[in-house]
Structure 1
Amino acid sequence: MDTILEIEALKKYYGKSKNQTKALDGISFRVMKGEFLGIMGSSGSGKSTLLNCIATVTRPDGGEILLRNRQVQELKGRELAQYRGKKIGYLFQNFELLDHMTGRENILIPLSLHNVDETESRSRLKQLAGYLEITDVLDKFPSQMSGGQKQRVAAARALILNPEMILADEPTGALDSKNARTLMEKMEGLNQDAGATILMVTHDTNAASYCRRILFIQDGLIFHELRRDIPRETRQEFYQRILKVMAQLGGGSEHVL
């Protein structure tokens, strides 16, 4: 498979000398095109820092982030804006929708920022809204939507520019179990049917079971890796294997954030 993202010896430290925290301590891995990769670990393990470094929200202290062999840290100006807008799509835990805009307007924000053809954007919106089952809330404001609807609108916004990779930060964190399952089924479908590449940070074992591969992070490094044996291994069987690793990481799911 084709490599989309390479993380090489990535480091991010907070504080100095004795009080220094090594959020990322030289972590390395690759993300392949069409992969659904999960990142799990105990609280403070560095997984959110990792996602923020990839999204260029946080600047690493060392190492490399390469998207299709291009050094992300070197991007500036228009190239950086293109990376943030078109190369990656970011799905937040708390939706981050603008309250004064309708669902449709929220989804179309990236298109207006990047001067995408209106005809093309409308077609893309119709396709995503149908797949994510949000057609009926496009003209509603976030205050009129359920949590699940908000997150699926946010997912459409992250996908509207057809990015090379989706970064999902605890996407089920603010959802009940039913809406979480619906969202993960849609994300799994996007991965399997549309070939979307997804990198997801999660503490939710059930959400993680939809992934094809999971990296467990501890003390800023990869502690363990699991791959789902598709098609022989069911999602429930993979879920049980995830639970076993989580127990090793910190004694149970309540410690794996």
Structure 2
Amino acid sequence: MNQKILEIEALRKYYGKRESQTKALDGITFQVVSGEFLGIMGSSGSGKSTLLNCIATVIAPTEGHIVMRGTEITSLKGKELAEYRGRKVGYLFQNFELLDNLTGRENILIPLSLHGIPEKESRSRMGELAGYLEIEDVLDKFPAQMSGGQRQRVAAARALILNPEIILADEPTGALDSRNARTLMEKLSGLNRKQDSTILMVTHDSNAASYCTRILFIQDGKIFHELRRRLPEETQQEFYERILHVMAQLGGGSANVL
């Protein structure tokens, strides 16, 4: 539980120049250890989504280092970059990003075809994920035939199918009602506890954040505060109340945090 899997050092992302410059990230430093469920919270424009997109290599940082198990990912190119994006990280989007003309099964198997992995090698893995995420009955349905919760769990299976070293979740409950959000978070939390899956989640939802083991609060591109759940004695409800207290300090209360 103490092996570093991801190291962020003095990360900066600036937009614009001089007087009009915006510091989306302003020197953030932290580590993620294997098997951790880390949440990133902050107000709108605080830089939390920019941080996740830098780690996912969707955008390039202005300065700083992102190191995954000893490899500086900001220097990756070509096949190495594709390998990182496809095999090292699994990305779970807020709006599912499923292909409408493919079935649930076909959407889940996309990463396998992109990386030239024979489908039969991962049939057992897909079966396990489908059973755990309770999506067996929608594998042959198209996204339009699924509920929002089912679509997000299919998307989760796609993110997990290649056993990534870290799961990046961007507001995974943002498009779900409270019941489906709770179901998804229970599944992600279960993966973290039972399979030691490492998860880094950006969220505005204090309920979703209460499933994490640690939370970093970001304000104006910097880390404002950190909370660690005191396991095993602290209940999820008690951790949730501590999260609300910090969110209120960030300004406007949790209802106004996006």
Aligned match of 2:43: 42
Give the letter aligned to residue 83 of structure 2: Q
SS at match of 2:230: coil
**What are the within-5 Å matches in structure 2 for residues 87-126 of structure 1?**
87-126=88-127
Give the letter aligned to residue 174 of structure 2: G
Q: Distance in 1 between matches of 2:20 and 2:252?
A: 26
Give the letter aligned to residue 52 of structure 2: L
* Structure 1: unaligned runs, 5 residues or longer: none
Q: Distance in 2 between matches of 1:35 and 1:132?
A: 20
SS at match of 2:23: strand
SS at match of 1:63: strand
**What are the within-5 Å matches in structure 2 for residues 56-95 of structure 1?**
56-95=57-96
| Per-residue deviation, 1:254 | 2.2
Q: Could you list the per-position Cα deviations for residues 81-123 of structure 1 after superposition, in whole angstroms to 9, with x for gaps in the alignment?
A: 0000000000000000000000000000000011113222111
What stretches of structure 1 move > 3 A for 4+ residues in a row? none
**What are the within-5 Å matches in structure 2 for residues 122-141 of structure 1?**
122-141=123-142
SS at match of 1:66: strand
Q: Could you list the per-position Cα deviations for residues 172-204 of structure 1 after superposition, in whole angstroms to 9, with x for gaps in the alignment?
A: 000000000000000000000011000000000
SS at match of 1:149: helix
| Per-residue deviation, 1:255 | 2.3
Query: Does structure 1 residue 153 correspond to structure 2 residue 154?
Result: yes
Aligned match of 2:32: 31
SS at match of 2:61: coil
Sequence identity, in percent? 77
**What are the within-5 Å matches in structure 2 for residues 167-246 of structure 1?**
167-246=168-247
Q: Distance in 2 between matches of 1:255 and 1:223?
A: 17
SS at match of 1:210: coil
* Structure 2: unaligned runs, 5 residues or longer: none
Asked if the contact 2:88/2:165 (under 8 Å) is kept, the reply is yes
Aligned match of 2:53: 52
Give the letter aligned to residue 192 of structure 1: R
TM-score (norm 1): 0.99
Give the letter aligned to residue 94 of structure 1: N
Aligned positions, number: 257
| Per-residue deviation, 1:218 | 0.5
Aligned match of 2:19: 18
| Per-residue deviation, 1:251 | 2.2
Give the letter aligned to residue 243 of structure 2: I
Q: Distance in 1 between matches of 2:216 and 2:230?
A: 15
Give the letter aligned to residue 168 of structure 1: A
Aligned match of 2:6: 5
SS at match of 2:187: helix
Give the letter aligned to residue 135 of structure 1: E
Q: Distance in 2 between matches of 1:231 and 1:185?
A: 17
**Structure 1 stretch 145-154 or stretch 13-22: which is displaced more?**
13-22
SS at match of 1:100: coil
Give the letter aligned to residue 7 of structure 2: E
Q: Distance in 2 between matches of 1:146 and 1:117?
A: 30
| Per-residue deviation, 1:253 | 1.1
Q: Distance in 1 between matches of 2:176 and 2:94?
A: 9
